[in-house]
Structures are given as C-alpha cells and as structure tokens.
C-alpha cells in the first residue's frame, strides 16, 4: 500500500525547490520518484518539427525522489508523515496524518 497517491498535495523538504508545494501528477514506483506540478522545472531544447516549426526552449517538470517530499496536512497546512490504521466499523485500512491524527 502506498503512502502517497496521485493528486495528493505535497511539500518539498529537500533540494532546490525546498518549501514549495504542488499536486502529484504521476508516481514512478520503479524509480522511487514522483512528478509534482510546478516543481523541479528544467529547460529543455526542442528541435524544429512539423508541429513546432520554430523549435527553441521549453520548461518541463522532471521527477523528484519520493524521499524529498512530504504530504501536506489539510487542516494544519504543515508537512506530515502518514501511517495506516484499521477502521473498526468498516474493517478498512485508512491513511492518517501523524500530526492531527485525521484520516486523509
């Protein structure tokens, strides 16, 4: 079971984009990295083609290691760790925040 999922809002805790936040667009579990909207932007040179006759430079997002991001707690708006607990009524496993103990 994964602690982070697509569309979760995360905050970067290490690297050049430290303290910035964004939503997870894609998770690369084999590479242990995530693609976050607006984080780790790099400039890529593009050759001219039929669809882009001019060519030039584009800014694109690159994946960041999953250890460098933490889930933002919605109530406190602080980065928090995630743990799993069993709901007694429905017998389902749910994700919870370590700070506020609320279900995510």
Q: Examine residue 34 and state whether it is found in any structural domain, yes or no.
A: yes
Q: 69: domain range? A: 9-73
Q: Is 21 helix (H, G, I), strand (E, B) or coil?
A: strand
67 backbone dihedrals φ, ψ, rounded to 5°: -75, -15
Question: Can you give the CATH number for the domain in which 51 is found?
Answer: 2.30.30.30
Q: Examine residue 84 and state whether it is found in any structural domain, yes or no.
A: no
Confidence of residue 103 (pLDDT cuts 50, 70, 90): confident
Q: Examine residue 19 and state whether it is found in any structural domain, yes or no.
A: yes
Q: What is the DSSP letter of 74?
A: T
Alpha carbon separation from 76 to 30, 68, 69 (Å, rounded): 31, 20, 17
pLDDT digits (tens, 9 = 90+) for 17-46: 999 999 999 999 999 999 999 999 999 999
Kindly give, in sequence order, each residue whose CB lies less than 8 Å from that of residue 53, ignoring residues fewer than 6 positions away: none
The count of structural domains within the chain is 1
Q: Examine residue 85 and state whether it is found in any structural domain, yes or no.
A: no
Q: Examine residue 2 and state whether it is found in any structural domain, yes or no.
A: no
Q: Whole-model pTM?
A: 0.85
44 or 89, which is more confident? 44
């Amino acid at each position: 079971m994964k602690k982070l999922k697509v569309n979760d809002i995360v905050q970067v805790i290490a690297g050049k984009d430290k303290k910035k936040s964004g939503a997870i667009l894609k998770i690369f579990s084999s590479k242990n990295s995530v693609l976050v909207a607006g984080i780790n932007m790099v400039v890529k040179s593009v050759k001219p083609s039929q669809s882009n006759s001019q060519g030039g430079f584009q800014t694109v997002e690159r994946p960041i290691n999953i250890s460098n991001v933490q889930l933002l707690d919605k109530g406190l708006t602080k980065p928090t760790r995630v743990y799993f607990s069993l709901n007694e009524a429905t017998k389902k496993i749910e994700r919870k925040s370590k700070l506020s103990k609320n279900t995510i």
